[in-house]
Amino acid sequence: MAANTYLTGIKPTGDFHLGNYVGAIKPALAAAKVYDTYYFVADYHALNTVKDADELRHSIRSGAATWLACGLDPAETVIYQQSKVPETFELTTVLTALTPKGLMNRAHAYKAARDRNNEAGITDLDAGVNMGLFNYPILMAADILIMEATHVPVGRDQSQHIEYTADIAGYFNNRYGQGGQGYTLPLPKGVIDDSEASILPGVDGRKMSKSYDNHIPLFLPENKLKKAIRRIPTDSTPVEDPKDPDTSVPFQLLTHFVGPDTVADVRKRLERGGTGWGDLKNELFEAVNAELGPKRERYEELMADPRQIDDILEAGSVRARERARAVLDRVRAAIGVA
Ligand code: ADP
Ligand code: TRP
C-alpha cells in the first residue's frame, strides 16, 4: 500500500463556481504535486438527483473537463469515472451487510430530507427519498476503501461521510481483520480546511454556494464575468471616502486572485479613500479573468472535442480498476466467497 493516497470525488451536478475553484480544485491540484492522487467523477452519486441521460452525460464530461482545464495532469493523477470501476459496487454490497441501518438513519443528508418533509407537513417523512440517497454514505465508503485511500480532501459538509467510512471500515476490520485470509482496510482521514480565509463569499456576502444562488460560475464568458462582478452589491460610500476592505465582498474575492503585495496595496488605497467600488471591481475582473481566461479556453476546447475527455477518463479508469481489483480480491478472500 502506498504511504499516502489522496482521493476525492467530484459530484457532477451543475457548473462549478469560483468557490469550488478556490476551495476544492486549487488545493487538490497542489496536493497532486506531492501525493499519490486519485480523483474521480462520482457519476453514480449524481444519478440520485440527475435522471436525464443527456444531462448526466454532459455533466460527467463537463466535470472532468473543468478539472483538466484547471491543470489536472492525467500523468500525475489518476482521474477516472466511478461507474467504470465496478469493483466499487461489489464492495458496496459487502459493506451493506456489515453496516447497521441505524447508522444510515442518522446520516445528515437523509435526516435533512425527512426534516424538509416534516416542515412541509408531509406525513410520510420518507416521501421523495430514494434508496440511493439512503445508501449514499455506503457507496461513498466503498469509493474510498476500494482504493485504500488514506486521505480524503472534502468540504466540511462531507465530514460525517468520512467518519462513517472509518466506522464502516472498522466493522469490516473487527470481523475480518485477522485469521485465515484476514485483511485490514486502512482507516481514511478527512482533510478539511474550514478556516475562514479559505471560504469564498458569494455576491450577497454569505458563503458562495449553488444552493444560495449567490455564485459566480467558473467559466462565464468574459463579458458575462465582467457583468457578474459589476453587479456585486456595494454601499454608496463616495469614491473619496475611506472604506472598510474587510466587509467588502469584491475585496475578499480579490485576495484569492492576486499576490500579497497587491492585496496590501489595494487595502491601503481603500482605507485611505480615493478608490471607488467601481475601480475595485475593475481590478477584480482583471485579476479573475487573467487567471481563468486561459483555463476557460482550454475548457471550451475540451468540450468541443469530448473524445479527448472520454479517452482520458477511460485510461484513468483502467488504472483505477487495477488497484480496485487487488483490494476486492483480498476482501473476497477475507469474507469467504473466494
Ligand atoms: P455548493 O455549496 O455550491 O453546492 P459543493 O458543496 O458542491 O458546493 O462544494 C464542492 C467543493 O467545493 C467542496 O470541497 C467545498 O468545500 C468547496 N466549496 C464550495 N463552496 C465554497 C466556497 N464558497 N468557498 C470555498 N470552498 C467552497
Ligand atoms: N459526496 C461527495 C460530494 O457530494 C462526492 C463524493 C462521492 C466523494 N464519493 C466520494 C468525495 C469519495 C470524497 C470521497 O461532494
Question: If you take atom 8 of ligand 2, which residue's CA is the nearest one?
Answer: 9
* Shared-domain flag, residues 170 and 103: yes
* Shared-domain flag, residues 258 and 133: no
* Any ligand 2 atom below 6 A from CB of 28: no
**Cα 285 from Cα 287, distance rounded (Å):** 5
Ligand number nearest to the C-alpha of 194: 1
Whether 213 is in a domain gets the answer no
Question: If you take atom 7 of ligand 2, which residue's CA is the nearest one?
Answer: 9
* Shared-domain flag, residues 74 and 193: yes
* Shared-domain flag, residues 135 and 268: no
What is the CA 211 to chain-centroid distance, rounded? 14
How many domains does the structure of the chain reveal?
2
pTM of the model: 0.94
* Shared-domain flag, residues 147 and 240: no
Three-state secondary structure string covering the chain = CCCCEEEEEECCCCCCEHHHHHHHHHHHHHHHCCCEEEEEECHHHHCCCCCCHHHHHHHHHHHHHHHHHCCCCCCCEEEEEHHHCCHHHHHHHHHHCCCCHHHHHCCHHHHHHHHHHHHCCCCCCCCCCCHHHHHHHHHHHHHHHCCCCCEEECCHHHHHHHHHHHHHHHHHHHHHCCCCCCCCCCCCEEECCCCHHHCCECCCCCECCHHHCCCCECCCCHHHHHHHHHCCCCCCCCCCCCCCHHHCHHHHHHCCCCCHHHHHHHHHHHHHCCCCHHHHHHHHHHHHHHHHHHHHHHHHHHHHCHHHHHHHHHHHHHHHHHHHHHHHHHHHHHHCCC
Whether 206 is in a domain gets the answer no
How many other C-beta atoms are found inside a 10 Å radius of the C-beta of residue 114? 17
Whether 279 is in a domain gets the answer yes
Pocket test for ligand 1, best of 13, 161, 209, 216 (most atoms within 8 A of CB): 209
Q: Which amino acid, one-letter code, is at 262?
A: T
* Shared-domain flag, residues 169 and 32: yes
> What per-residue confidence (pLDDT) applies to 198?
84
**What CATH number does residue 156 fall under?**
3.40.50.620
**Cα 106 from Cα 255, distance rounded (Å):** 38
* Shared-domain flag, residues 95 and 146: yes
| CA-23 nearest atom, ligand 1 | 26
pLDDT in tens, 265-295: 999 999 999 999 999 999 999 999 999 999 9
Ligand 1 center to residue 22 CA distance, Å?
9
> What per-residue confidence (pLDDT) applies to 1?
47
pLDDT in tens, 164-197: 999 999 999 999 999 889 999 999 999 998 788 7
Whether 99 is in a domain gets the answer yes
* Shared-domain flag, residues 115 and 230: no
Whether 70 is in a domain gets the answer yes
Average pLDDT value for residue range 319-332? 98
Ligand 1 center to residue 246 CA distance, Å?
21
Whether 236 is in a domain gets the answer yes
Whether 322 is in a domain gets the answer yes
Q: Which domain holds residue 271?
A: 219-298
* Shared-domain flag, residues 288 and 310: no
* Shared-domain flag, residues 38 and 169: yes
At residue 87 the predicted structure's pLDDT band, cuts being 50, 70 and 90, is very high
pLDDT in tens, 143-168: 999 999 999 999 989 999 999 999 99
| CA-139 nearest atom, ligand 2 | 9
Residue 3 has pLDDT above 80, yes or no: no
Ligand 2 center to residue 152 CA distance, Å?
9
* Shared-domain flag, residues 183 and 238: no
Question: If you take atom 15 of ligand 2, which residue's CA is the nearest one?
Answer: 11
Question: If you take atom 26 of ligand 1, which residue's CA is the nearest one?
Answer: 23
Give the percent of the chain with pLDDT over 90. Answer: 94
Average pLDDT value for residue range 25-31? 95
> What per-residue confidence (pLDDT) applies to 36?
96
Whether 209 is in a domain gets the answer no
**What CATH number does residue 252 fall under?**
1.10.240.10
* Any ligand 2 atom below 6 A from CB of 158: yes
What is the CA 3 to chain-centroid distance, rounded? 23
* Shared-domain flag, residues 186 and 264: no
pLDDT in tens, 233-258: 999 999 999 999 999 999 999 999 99
> What per-residue confidence (pLDDT) applies to 21?
96
